[in-house]
Amino acid sequence: MSQATQLENQCPPCWQQTQPQSPEVARMSLAAAMTLDFAPGSFYRNACLSCINLLLTYRSGCAAKCAYCGLSGAKEKKESSSKSFIRVTWPAFSVDEIVAGIVRRQERVKRICISMLTNSRAPRDAAEICRRLRQAIDIPVSMLVSPTILTRRNLEELRDAGADKIGVAIDLATPELFDHYRGSGVGGPHSWKRYWQCLGESLDIFGKGMAGAHFMVGMGETEQDMCRAMQRVHDMGGNTHLFSFFPEGGSPLAHRLPPPIDQYRRIQLARWLIDNDHAHERFFTYNDRRALTGYGLSKGDLDAVIDTGEPFRTCGCTGRDGEVACNRPYANSRPGPGIRNYPFKPEEADVRHIRLQMGLPA
């Protein structure tokens, strides 16, 4: 019996009988709910979300115990309506409501992303919701998968259901950190080897550039560790979607601080250079703390890249126009001057601010 199934069986009968769950319902990020006019609100600096982010939901919760996640462990089954994920609440809606809302506001939507929990039902339910979405509207669908409960055949079924991109949230840059925060260190089910294997399977099935890995800066890795992990993904044919650690209320790491902004900016620049084939990690230079000191490029070339502002934008799945659709406004920082992932093209004043954050002349 899988750990996910064991956890489901621990759920009190009253909860098993009364709470709606996927595939009949799904949770939606607050930003997505605002985009579809399901919730009131406005975005700082008029940022616009063009990807509807959905999260599967179950009475039995998530079998994973990731130390930094607000949905970690069995607690979700009793507190799901109040738990946060990526800093905000995710209200639940029927899938019928979601489909109708996307059809009604389709001019605002360039992509849909369905995120799994570590629950034995998730692969088939994600495929079912994907089919319903694709039958109703011609908008591309991504899947953020949970490799622990996923087989290669499941990935093929997601493709057949209409998904065109896969995300694998490896999150940690080294096997030791992965195990500490997601595996045996927290009594969790996840395996570093299986996550990388799933990324490779996804690239085999969906094609080069159609799968990628999420990584989170600020979990105790060195900058060299992160750059090598991102290069590995690129060498496999994938892309990196980069996050800055931000404490999640209710998680074991709720009081941990985000990484220094200069560290995050250096890694953002490295990611952009690697993913766009402008540089290779083997030419990067580091100091004795294994922090970046150079990218193997001239100062003029680096300045030209920095001044575009592009490396510091949110990196996520694109729409059919080639522009990032999943821009997750303020998912890993509060709205304000401390933006870490810009959900829009940084303006000249933003670039000057970024340069100062990196210790460079503005």
Domains of the chain are 3-259 (3.20.20.70)
Contact 220, 245 (CB under 8 A): no
How confident is the model over 306-334, as a mean pLDDT?
A: 93
DSSP-derived pairing of the beta strands 92-94 and 111-115: unpaired
pLDDT exceeds 90 at position 79: no
Average predicted confidence (pLDDT) for the chain:
92
On the question of pLDDT at 319 being above 80, the answer is yes
pLDDT tier for residue 74 given thresholds of 50, 70 and 90:
very low
Query: Residue 6: pLDDT above 60?
Result: no
**Residue 280 near residue 227, CB atoms below 8 Å:** no
* pLDDT of residue 1 exceeding 70: no
Answer yes or no: is pLDDT of 5 > 50. no
pLDDT at 14 over 50: no
* Mean of pLDDT values over 291-303: 98
- For residue 92, what pLDDT band results from cuts at 50, 70 and 90? very high
- To the nearest 10°, report the CA torsion of 205, 210, 211, 217: 170
Is the confidence at residue 142, as pLDDT, over 90? yes
Q: What is the 3-state secondary structure (H, E, C) of the chain?
A: CCHHHHHHHCCCHHHHHHCCCCCCEEEECHHHHHHCCCCCCCCHHHCCCCEEEEECCCCCCCCCCCCCCCCCCCCHHHHCCCCEECCEECCEEEHHHHHHHHHHCHHHCCEEEEECCCCCCHHHHHHHHHHHHHHHCCCCEEEEECHHHCCHHHHHHHHHCCEEEEEEEEECCCHHHHHHHHCHHHCCCCCHHHHHHHHHHHHHHHCCCCEEEEEEECCCCCHHHHHHHHHHHHHHCCEEEEEECCCCCCCCCCCCCCCCHHHHHHHHHHHHHHHCCCCCHHHCEECCCCCEEECCCCHHHHHHHHHHCHHHECCCCECCCCCECCCCCCCCCCCCCCCCCECCCCCHHHHHHHHHHCCCCC
pLDDT at 335: 83
**pLDDT tier at 314 (50, 70, 90 boundaries)?**
very high
Average confidence (pLDDT) over 303-315:
98
Which pLDDT score is estimated for 334?
Answer: 83
> What pLDDT does 87 receive?
55
Give residue-wise pLDDT tens across range 148-169: 999 999 999 999 999 999 999 9
pLDDT at 325 over 90: yes
Instruction: Return the pLDDT at 337.
Output: 84
Residue 268 has pLDDT above 50, yes or no: yes
The per-residue pLDDT for range 186-216, each reduced to its tens digit, is 999 999 999 999 999 999 999 999 999 999 9
Rounded CA separation 100/284 (Å): 49
**What's the pTM?**
0.92
Amino acid at 325: A
